[in-house]
Structure 1
């Protein structure tokens, strides 16, 4: 079998309900800070269009901020509220659709300005409503679904994790109780967009403050954690790991996406250093770059039905033609992920 034949599973069409994709490749959300005053401009539209033109089936945008006072602590991160920001996103959507792609916004509350334990229940309800408003905005301006950011130590994930959630009210306590905030967010978003609009939830075990953290230490705990979220209305789980090839629990080769799909029966996206031979942290902490490597093991896991979609982050960040080059076997043309490449993003 030739190389181009071996990677064809990545380029099979995908359908879930009303969401139909040309292939299994997803652009992972990556913050760029290129939206002054929260407004994505023509350059943002052009950035995403280039990926859609080059065989990316689904684009998940960088995190977009919900309408809440404490939702962001970074400048130039785009909003998903307000007339100007929504007009900017409508243009992004139009450009991606014209290029044949599909696109969903990642909806985000950073949750760093206030300790998760200090939000009153009434303020928690305000934040839930802000997520629902963002979901409604996304549907209204033509996005193909939404992704809720519930990973990496941001607000939703702060409710999940026992080390950050010390609440004694209905949003804290047991593993299941700590999912209640996310459950309410998902339900509110589902009510806002209706039954046929795709809702993705991004989750991770690891945190930016602790790469070895585990929300669920066993498959049974993972089932307890996921069940309320499934019942709330999640269609697809975007399972963030630092290295997709690493098993999640002892005694099985399944990664996090594999376990999530097996436990829930829901669709799953895998992500984590795909197309790279180094991990994200070493680039910045040790000054290392990362080169593209073979993806045969990834394709085999996809063929084994361990997950349904494959999210590419850094490789697509530096090389908008990554998917096209993979499909055509142009491996020598791939742009390695290095600090130098980051300076010339297009």
Structure 2
């Protein structure tokens, strides 16, 4: 008996914005921008192939937001200058040719920097080095350095940078912005007990760690207006510490998602090792289910959802409104067309796609997309 995947192809809205199906391309670091942070034609082809392949929406790779501490990798794109904005506009216009939405993910790397053209210094909530080693396929090597603890002036500058980058994203034509609060980068560090040892209003509890995020949401919303789409991405695991979990499990999830659910956000994007698995120990909710039930916003689920059966489970059982694909989209830039037509999906080959450096490559696949 053939599985009915029609649920994955229902038109679904975030706010007033319609998406033609539930498939979204996840943000993926590909270190292919020009050295000065401007997007280029290689990136344009990369994003176009997903739009051509039937994805209803694309979330960009993490985009740095200032010419100070936010850049996380060499050849990472930025949204700081008019030149940055204009370069992205060409990509956005191309994606829109296929009636695909595109969201700019705004990122501050915090202490988890592996390359920054503007400074050798890193900043974080506290002077605590991220765990683990830098990743070679993102251009880093060796342990992460110990960052400088942020001052209140630093925090205000970060908030202003998110606000400014969001305004440039809107001017470039992006359909929305996603605040990167996941994967061990700056905003996630404020929610991580061992990374945030502050004793002021920004530290000491999950509630206090959320303060900077709430201030960023407020600043962006006031800048871009009520009708512009704003989302946030959250995780427990990090680039530098994949096994990390919120100390109080579902209680922390209720606090985080419940607090964000009261804010001027349009969606919550959650990522986990398996987007359909219990997120907080045996017999607990998945991250997606927790975000949906505690936050009450549209939810995008991420984590090994390339198999359409898993994608369907995330939507039907875990209460996700959308699924975002990372490695699945890299292997099959036309996943929606393949699933809808009953065609076979290719396996993800990390050796050929990510290593030794996660540049954008194999773009000749664009010619094969249906």
Q: Which segment is superposed worse, 57-66 or 39-48?
A: 39-48
Kindly report which structure 2 residues correspond to 1:136-155, keeping only aligned pairs within 5 A, or say none.
136-155=167-186
1:183 to partner: Cα distance: 0.9
Task: Confirm whether residue 314 of structure 1 aligns to residue 327 of structure 2.
Answer: yes
Q: Which segment is superposed worse, 20-29 or 201-210?
A: 201-210
Is 2:15–2:266's contact at 8 Å kept on the other side of the alignment? no
Aligned to 1:93: 92
1:47 to partner: Cα distance: 1.1
Task: Give the root-mean-square deviation of aligned CA atoms.
Answer: 1.8
1:345 counterpart (362, 365, 368): 362
Partners of 2:240 and 2:42 lie apart in 1 by 32
Task: Confirm whether residue 172 of structure 1 aligns to residue 203 of structure 2.
Answer: yes
Kindly report which structure 2 residues correspond to 1:259-338, keeping only aligned pairs within 5 A, or say none.
259-275=290-306, 294-304=307-317, 306-331=319-344, 334-338=346-350
Q: Please list every run of 5 or more consecutive structure 2 residues that lacks an aligned counterpart in the other structure.
A: 112-121, 127-148, 356-360, 364-370
| Matched residues, number | 325
SS, match of residue 63 in structure 1: strand
Cα 1:66–1:15 shift into 2, 3 Å? same
Partners of 2:353 and 2:188 lie apart in 1 by 31
Per the normalisation by structure 2, the TM-score is 0.83
1:345 to partner: Cα distance: 2.8
Aligned to 2:77: 78
Cα 1:216–1:104 shift into 2, 3 Å? farther
1:313 to partner: Cα distance: 0.3
1:114 counterpart (123, 127, 133): 123
1:68 to partner: Cα distance: 4.2
Q: Which digits, 9 at most, give the CA deviation of each residue in 1:68-121, with x for residues without a partner?
A: 411114211000121221111100110000122100010000012123221110
Kindly report which structure 2 residues correspond to 1:3-14, keeping only aligned pairs within 5 A, or say none.
3=3, 6-14=4-12
Partners of 1:178 and 1:341 lie apart in 2 by 36
1:216 to partner: Cα distance: 5.2
Partners of 2:96 and 2:208 lie apart in 1 by 40
Kindly report which structure 2 residues correspond to 1:224-239, keeping only aligned pairs within 5 A, or say none.
224-239=255-270
Aligned to 1:59: 58
Task: Confirm whether residue 205 of structure 1 aligns to residue 218 of structure 2.
Answer: no
Partners of 1:242 and 1:251 lie apart in 2 by 15
1:323 to partner: Cα distance: 2.2
Higher helix share: 1
Aligned to 1:133: 164
Aligned to 1:34: 32
Cα 1:73–1:262 shift into 2, 3 Å? closer
Task: Confirm whether residue 190 of structure 1 aligns to residue 206 of structure 2.
Answer: no
Partners of 1:115 and 1:309 lie apart in 2 by 32
SS, match of residue 170 in structure 2: helix
Is 2:231–2:265's contact at 8 Å kept on the other side of the alignment? yes
Partners of 1:318 and 1:305 lie apart in 2 by 25
1:31 to partner: Cα distance: 0.8
Is 1:325–1:334's contact at 8 Å kept on the other side of the alignment? no
Is 1:35–1:76's contact at 8 Å kept on the other side of the alignment? yes
1:156 counterpart (174, 182, 187): 187
Partners of 1:157 and 1:109 lie apart in 2 by 10
Per the normalisation by structure 1, the TM-score is 0.89
Partners of 1:254 and 1:221 lie apart in 2 by 12
Partners of 1:213 and 1:223 lie apart in 2 by 17
